[in-house]
Amino acid sequence: MTSRKNLAQNTRAVMFYSIMFAISLIWLYPYIWLFLSSFKPWNEIYTTFIPSHFTLKSYSYILSVANQMGYPFIRGLFNSIFIAVTVTTSVVITSAVIGYALAKIRFSGSKALFNFVIYQMLFPGFMFTVPLYIVIRSFGLLDTYAAMIVPSLMGAWGVFMFSQSFKSIPNAYIEAAKMDGANFFWVVFNVMVPLSKSTMAIVTIFTFIGIWDNFMWPLIVMQSHSKMPLAVLLAVFNKSYGNYVGPILAGSVIQTIPMVIIFIIFRKYFLQGISMSFK
């Protein structure tokens, strides 16, 4: 009796896990296909799943031939890294400082600041695309790195996340640090931030991914290929040379890999972040 029950249970478990694995593989399939196809000889992209032999032709094409055609992809990769790192660093530092002011300093503007941060988060970003373009244009910043970086240097969401996390830290920590003669920035970055590691990780990851993946804004403000981030350069190349499928897939791999690496490194925080950021 018990063995029959066990058997039934085991069969069900095997079925459950097989189905889950099958569905997971379906979900991974686009990535696997992309990765394998970027190494295929060009005539095999649609015809085989596993390439008959691996070749770097697509990569050498996108990295050197496209460069001679005026699409500098290596430079694009560095542009993307530069923009994403600058914005992320700035957002994390400013959000921590302003989040501290919001959470731990009682001043006449605290309530107004809190309301304003919430109010800002209510508006969908797409409302501001056109007027922000006009503002950037009136500053003479079109087609500069500043156009892509400056409007994102601070953000309401980061401030909100840090202030929520700082609120839960007892004031005793701050008092103790002040007793030891710590100045304000020391308190924020050596006491408060280390105590809210997961918030910092979440703000870092989501800001980085958001700016790396940002497409419409750089598409609008950038003209010269040499300053474009990878996403836009790839899109522009795809518009004019869409039939060079192999190189475009290789470009997509290069564009995707940094985010996948960041995701794998910070996966623990990523999982936390999703359930945390909406509470």
Partner 1 sequence: MKNNVRSLERVENIKGWLLSGPYWIFAAIFFGYPFVWLVVIAFSKWNFISPRKTIWFDNFIKLFRDPMFWTVTWNTMRFMLYFIPMGLALSIALAMAFSKAKRFKTFFAMSFLIANVSSGVAYSIIFTQLFSTNGPVNNFLYNNFGVFIPWFSDPNWAMFSIAIMVTWKFIGYYALIFLSGLQAIPKELYEAAEIDGATKWTKFWKITLPLLNPSIVMVMVLAITLSFGIFTEPYMITGGGPLNSTQTFMMVIYTDAFLKYQPGYAATISIIAAGMSFALIILTRKLIERKVEFA
Residues from 150 through 209 that contact partner 1 (CB under 8 A): 150-151, 153-154, 156, 159, 184, 209
Binding status of residue 140 toward partner 1 by CB under 8 A: no
Binding status of residue 63 toward partner 1 by CB under 8 A: no
Closest CA to 259 of 75, 124, 136, 81: 81
Q: Is the CB of residue 34 less than 8 Å from the CB of residue 253?
A: yes
Binding status of residue 113 toward partner 1 by CB under 8 A: yes
Which residue, 54 or 263, has its beta carbon nearer to partner 1?
263
Which residue, 158 or 196, has its beta carbon nearer to partner 1?
158
Interface of this chain with partner 1, residues 41 to 60, rule: CB under 8 A: 45-46, 49
Give the shortest CB-183-to-partner 1 separation in angstroms.
Answer: 12
Measured distance CA(21)–CA(133) in Å, rounded: 46
Q: Tell me, by CB under 8 A, how many residues bind partner 1.
A: 81
- Binding range to partner 1, per CB under 8 A, among 81-89, 100-108, 172-180, 189-197: 100-108
- Binding range to partner 1, per CB under 8 A, among 50-58, 68-76, 106-114, 171-179: 106-114
Structure tokens at 199: 């918030």
Structure tokens at 80: 């993307």
Torsion-angle region of 59 (φ positive above 0: left; ψ -120 to 50: alpha; else: beta): alpha
Binding status of residue 8 toward partner 1 by CB under 8 A: no
Binding status of residue 107 toward partner 1 by CB under 8 A: yes
- Binding range to partner 1, per CB under 8 A, among 55-63, 67-75, 192-200, 250-258: 250-258
Give how far Cα 50 sits from Cα of 21, 146, 207, Å: 20, 44, 36
- Binding range to partner 1, per CB under 8 A, among 50-58, 116-124, 165-173, 191-199: 116-124
- Binding range to partner 1, per CB under 8 A, among 71-79, 81-89, 97-105, 175-183: 97-105
Measured distance CA(27)–CA(30) in Å, rounded: 7
Which residue, 41 or 151, has its beta carbon nearer to partner 1?
151
Structure tokens at 132: 């922000």
Which residues fall within 8 angstroms of residue 226, CB to CB, at 6 or more apart? 72, 75
Binding status of residue 238 toward partner 1 by CB under 8 A: yes
Structure tokens at 223: 């003209």
3-state helix, strand, coil in the chain (%, to 5): 80, 0, 20
Residue from 15, 16, 56, 168 binding partner 1 (CB under 8 A): 16
- Taken in order 11, 13, 16, 19, is the CA torsion positive or negative? negative
